[in-house]
Amino acid sequence: MNTVTAQIALCQQYGAAYVPSNEQLKVGLSRSVAEGVRPIHGVRYAPEADTTGWYIWAGEFSLADDFFQPVHLAHLTAWAPQVQPYLGLGPGWRFILDPEEDYVDVWFDDSLGVLT
């Protein structure tokens, strides 16, 4: 199954609209993802300028100014390929993944104030 097909199938599974993420655009990524920390968290806001709207981190969240680094989506999928099927979820959606524990949680977060 190719990436787009997997993303569309996952969106259908959760009743979400499919909103593609262009690999030339950027995500906000914490260094902990590349370091292999788990679990992996993702939240998508409305895309702006050259971003997909995705913020992805692993382990504990931080409010530090340098916690998120702008990274092209193509690099994220090299460091954390397991997130790729979730990147078609639209703004307002979140996920938590821990492949080692076989844990997945996906939900729409009303508190983000995103209109569907």
23-42: pLDDT as tens digits: 999 999 999 998 989 999 99
6, amino acid identity: A
Residue 116 lies in a domain: no
Identify the pLDDT of residue 78.
83
Residue 86 lies in a domain: yes
Secondary structure of residue 32 in the 3-state scheme: helix
Backbone angles phi, psi at 81, to 5 degrees: -60, -25
Give the residue numbers spanning the domain of 75: 3-109
Would you tell me how many other CB atoms lie within 10 Å of the CB of residue 92? 23
Backbone angles phi, psi at 95, to 5 degrees: -145, 155
pLDDT at 115 over 90: no
The structural domain count of the chain equals: 1
Helices (H), 1-116: 3-14, 31-34, 73-79
- Picking from 45, 57, 52, the residue whose alpha carbon sits closest to that of residue 26 is 52
Residue 39 lies in a domain: yes
Identify the pLDDT of residue 76.
84
pLDDT at 116 over 80: no
pLDDT at 1 over 70: no
pLDDT at 72 over 70: yes
Residue 20 lies in a domain: yes
Question: Looking at residues 42-58, what average pLDDT do you find?
Answer: 96
- Picking from 84, 105, 18, 40, the residue whose alpha carbon sits closest to that of residue 9 is 18
pLDDT at 110 over 80: yes
Whole-number mean pLDDT of the chain? Answer: 93
- Picking from 35, 27, 78, the residue whose alpha carbon sits closest to that of residue 56 is 27
Residue 22 lies in a domain: yes
Residue 115 lies in a domain: no
| pTM of the model as a whole | 0.92
Question: Looking at residues 80-84, what average pLDDT do you find?
Answer: 93
Q: Could you give the percent of the chain with pLDDT greater than 70? A: 97
Half-sphere exposure of 102 (CA within 13 A, CB side): 0
